[in-house]
Amino acid sequence: MGDVFKALADATRRTILDELTEQDGQTLFELCARLSGKHGLGSTRQAISQHLDVLEAAGLVRVRRDGRYKFHDLDTAPLREIHERWLKEKP
């Protein structure tokens, strides 16, 4: 679970998750374009790729290949685990 908190600690990674919430299944190129155009983030593709690696390691992003393209999908399972651990309703 520590990986999840580490991943969420960075503002750029939270913005990437926001973008995947709005439109799942984006390529690195699409994410970079949206982050630059919509949020004014001037990060390189390499930097965004490294952020995606951290999110994938934390289980928050799944990567799937289709031909030569890699698509990034949001996976909310680790967040549900946090919710169930600390935020579920008490009897």
pLDDT tens digit sequence for 31-44 = 999 999 998 988 89
The arithmetic mean of pLDDT across residues 10-28, rounded, is: 96
Those residues with Cβ within 8 angstroms of residue 81's Cβ, 6 or more apart along the chain or in another chain: 1
Q: Where are the domains of the chain?
A: 2-87
Res 1: pLDDT: 66
Quote the pLDDT of residue 89: 66
pLDDT, tens digit, 9 for 90 and up, residues 51-85: 999 999 999 999 999 999 999 999 999 988 888 88
Question: pTM of the prediction?
Answer: 0.88
Q: How far is CA 49 from CA 52, 54, 67, 84, in A?
A: 5, 9, 19, 30
Place of tokens 């890699």: 70
Look at the domain 2-87 and name its fold.
Arc Repressor Mutant, subunit A (1.10.10)
Say whether pLDDT at 9 is over 80.
yes
